[in-house]
Amino acid sequence: MKKYSITLLLLLAGNIAYTQSRTAKDQFMEAGLAVARKQGTFTIACFYNWNLGKKKRVTAGLGARATAYFGRDQYYITAPAELTSGSTGPGVLFKENINANIDTFLVRSPQVNAVNLLINLGYHFSDKIFVGFSIDAIGYSFGSRVSGTYINGHSSVLERAGITSFNALLISDNDRGSLNSELYAHYGLTDRIRIKAGVQFLFTEYTTRSNVQTLPEPNDRFRRKSLLAGFGIAYRL
């Protein structure tokens, strides 16, 4: 009986320590993998969060994320919003794509590296369960040039392309470059170590050597939108 009482006290003490550990500020690092058909990512990120409210359940923060994307036989489509939606501005989020304006660029082995500043929001449902959403805001992408196939209807032509270097969050197809966003959940194993699961929505982008698309206007930017399932581990600093 004494043995079980001591065990119960230790568990209660651990739970109290976990509850008291949620402070006004929170820093952590994480690493993760995400996969989909013929593609995947590896990410490393750091977060600096502010826990808000009387119970400090709401989280808002900033951070930085490095994303390495790998794929095989991936189709990139016309990127600029003025072509895909016929306009620019916030309204493109609610507009259907104009299929007649969209051409394709096939990349056999895409590999894109992006380093971006991010925005992070979330909510502590309990001392162990946290659900968050992070989105890249601005940064830089790099990687090797590739040979791809530009496809327009029944015609195609080989073309060289490089990774679009400047990344900027500008709402939907107004975005430029390679940007990662993630809806995720953390489960606390200890006060410092958390396991993570979630989904990534990733834009990667190539710029062709010339304006291979000529109608309805010249274009050299092509984007891949990827939805991936991911998992990882986070460590509270």
Secondary structure (3-state) at 67:
strand
Taking the domains of the chain in order of start, what are their residue ranges? 23-236
Q: Residues in the chain, how many?
A: 237
| CATH architecture, domain 23-236 | Beta Barrel (2.40)
Listed in sequence order, the DSSP H helices in the chain are 2-20, 81-84
Name every residue whose Cβ is closer than 8 Å to that of residue 229 and which is 6 or more positions away in sequence: 34, 35, 36, 198, 199, 200
Name the one residue in this structure whose structure tokens are 């327009």. 152
Name the one residue in this structure whose structure tokens are 């209660």. 12
Percentage helix, strand, coil for the chain under 3-state DSSP, each rounded to 5:
15, 60, 25
Q: Is the dihedral of CA 207, 211, 214, 218 positive or negative?
A: positive
Name the one residue in this structure whose structure tokens are 């080989």. 158
Token pair for 169: 């969050």
My answer on whether omega of the bond before 90 falls inside 30° of 0, hence cis, is no
Q: Position 197: which residue type?
A: A
What parts of the chain have a pLDDT lower than 50?
A: 1-20
Q: What local confidence, expressed as pLDDT, does residue 12 receive?
A: 39
Q: What local confidence, expressed as pLDDT, does residue 21 receive?
A: 57
Q: What local confidence, expressed as pLDDT, does residue 9 receive?
A: 41
pLDDT digits (tens, 9 = 90+) for 128-166: 999 999 999 999 999 999 999 999 988 999 999 999 999
pLDDT digits (tens, 9 = 90+) for 98-108: 999 999 999 99
DSSP 95: P
pTM of the model: 0.89
The CA-based angle 208-209-214, given to 5 degrees, is 70
